[in-house]
Amino acid sequence: MLAVVFSLLEVLIVLVPVLLSVAFMTIIERKVLASMQRRVGPNTVGYFGVLQPFADALKLVVKETVVPQHATRSLFFLAPVISLVFSLLGWAVIPFASGLALSDFSLGVLYSLAISSIGVYGVLFAGWSANSKYAFLGSLRSTAQMISYELILSTAVLAVVLLAGTFSYTAIIERQQAVYYLVPLLPLFIVFFIAVLAETNRTPFDLPEAESELVAGYFTEHSGMIFVFFFLAEYCSIVLMSALTSIFFVGGYVMPQCIANNTFINVQAVVLALKTCLFCFVFVWFRATLPRLRYDQLMQFCWMAMLPVAIACFVLVLCLLVAFDVTPCFPQRVGGLAIVMGNTSLILHI
């Protein structure tokens, strides 16, 4: 019994900071966007507007929830819950420092891929159950985009898995002590990040909610509390994807040895947080910089350009592993392999 209480507490200890970080992600987005557009941004609630997201949340919670008359009510309420729950479930396997994960699952990467693919159902059901043409078309647009870019995302992730020779997050991070995978797999990192942008419906792929020219996408009919769920899910997946990017390509909690210390502060977790923040910032930076793609361009880009590149990179990694006879089952050789890979990708760039 006590064990159950403890594991529930562990889950709470991860979830509450995650939800807080999601709240702060929204204020980061608004402040950074404001600075880049030479505005002030929210500045009245709390110091420098830091408490703005809580005021917003309170406003949304007390708003009335309007349900369309012909909606399929069960799915209408289930859809936002699916979105939020499955974007939060992704945090279960993230190691925040060595040994600090809710579950150090040996198939963690596969788990993440499975969870992210189930999350699409939230979008699909939201559009269909509202029984409104705007929401329905929005959800079809969004789903087509998400399942297309998921292919690219998983191809890039599988290349990392091949190089590391494991599906476990902790092992992938530990293998990057010699060199971050960003160095040998730079082309794949770019491909991965583009896929992440599309997967989280961010600029330049934010057609699902192109507020300036199309009616807001799949959540057109959702309001009040259930809209908050979608909102939270979206920003939660942004933070999660930033964390995953930093784990796969920038070494997660691994840092140069000169920073490491053994005091009571867990520097590893701070390092992971800093790397994640960096990618969160890049998300906003992209939004402020790039214009939106047209829908046919988006799909064309995915299937005609990104997918061949991703698969080519994947095959290249595979071929190099075989050609230099450095299967990652022998961890002591991986450092040498990474250097070889780095040189090859350098040559390719030149």
Partner 1 sequence: MNAVLLDLLSLAAIASTILVITAKNPVMSVLYLIAVFLNVAGYLVLLGIAYLGLVYLIVYVGAIAILFLFVIMMLNLRLVELVETGQQYTKNLPMAAMLAGMLFYELLTMVPAAAASMPTLVFSWFNATLFNAKTAVDVDANIYQAFSTAVNDGQLASFTQIASIGHSLYTYAALWLVVASVIFMLAMVGPIVLCMTSADTSTADSK
Binding status of residue 110 toward partner 1 by CB under 8 A: yes
Among 111, 180, 231, 279, binds partner 1 (CB under 8 A): 111
Residue 168, classed as helix, strand or coil, is coil
Q: How far is the CB of 110 from partner 1 (least distance, A)?
A: 4
What is the closest distance, in whole angstroms, from the C-beta atom of residue 132 to partner 1 in the complex?
A: 13
How many residues in the shown chain lie near partner 1 by CB under 8 A? 21
* Under rule CB under 8 A, residue 117 binds partner 1: yes
d(CA 318, CA 178): 20
CA distance 122 to 259: 42
Residue 6 vs 289, nearer CB to partner 1 = 6
| Residue 44 per-residue DSSP state | S
Select the residue interacting with partner 1 from 65, 98, 132, 143 (CB under 8 A).
143
Instruction: State yes or no: residue 8 binds partner 1 (CB under 8 A).
Output: no
Which 39-78 residues touch partner 1, going by CB under 8 A? 75
Nearest distance, CB of residue 256 and partner 1, angstroms: 32
Is 11 buried (19+), middle (13-18) or exposed (0-12) by CB count in 10 A?
A: middle
Contacting range for partner 1; rule: CB under 8 A; set: 3-11, 93-101, 139-147, 319-327: 139-147
Closest approach, Cβ 305 to partner 1, in A, equals: 18
Segment 145 to 174, residues that bind partner 1, using CB under 8 A: 147, 150, 167
Question: Does 114 contact partner 1 by CB under 8 A?
Answer: yes
CB contact at 8 A, 224 and 60: yes
**Does 190 sit near partner 1 (CB under 8 A)?**
no
**Closest to partner 1 by CB, 278 or 303:** 303
Q: Does 136 bind partner 1 (CB under 8 A)?
A: yes
